Amino acid sequence: MPTSTAAVATDRGGRYIKQLCSHFSKKAESVYDESSGHTVFEFGEARMTATDTELRLEVSAADEPLLGRVEYVVADHLERFAARDGLTVEWRRDT
């Protein structure tokens, strides 16, 4: 199963996890707490972990095209929610 990871520098990781998972829960199974979250989409899944300085994202899917879709959905939403903070997501695909 292909996976990608990203580490986004922010001291608001927990807040973004809550915002992402709450939003995603409208269409996908999503659970979260203060420092982690997990969303299962029809096309893949996302795991999120927050520290004091970073939001770590890990996404996976059954194949490369679906992985690209999960990457896009998670990054697009996070970047829109964090527009004021200027956050960007740069995925690193695991090989």
What's the rounded Cα separation, in Å, for the pair 36 and 56? 9
95 within a domain of the structure (yes/no): no
What's the rounded Cα separation, in Å, for the pair 85 and 88? 9
Domain of 74: which CATH number? 3.30.310.50
pTM of the model: 0.95
69 within a domain of the structure (yes/no): yes
Q: What does each of the 95 residues of the chain score in pLDDT, given as a tens digit?
A: 999 999 999 999 999 999 999 999 999 999 999 999 999 999 999 999 999 999 999 999 999 999 999 999 999 999 999 999 999 999 999 86
35 within a domain of the structure (yes/no): yes
Phi, psi for 34 (deg, rounded to 5): -65, -25
Give the domain extent around 42.
3-86
94 within a domain of the structure (yes/no): no
93 within a domain of the structure (yes/no): no
46 within a domain of the structure (yes/no): yes
What's the rounded Cα separation, in Å, for the pair 6 and 75? 9
Distances, alpha carbon 92 to alpha carbons 3, 5, 19, 89, in Å: 9, 5, 23, 10
92 within a domain of the structure (yes/no): no
Report the number of distinct structural domains present in the chain.
1
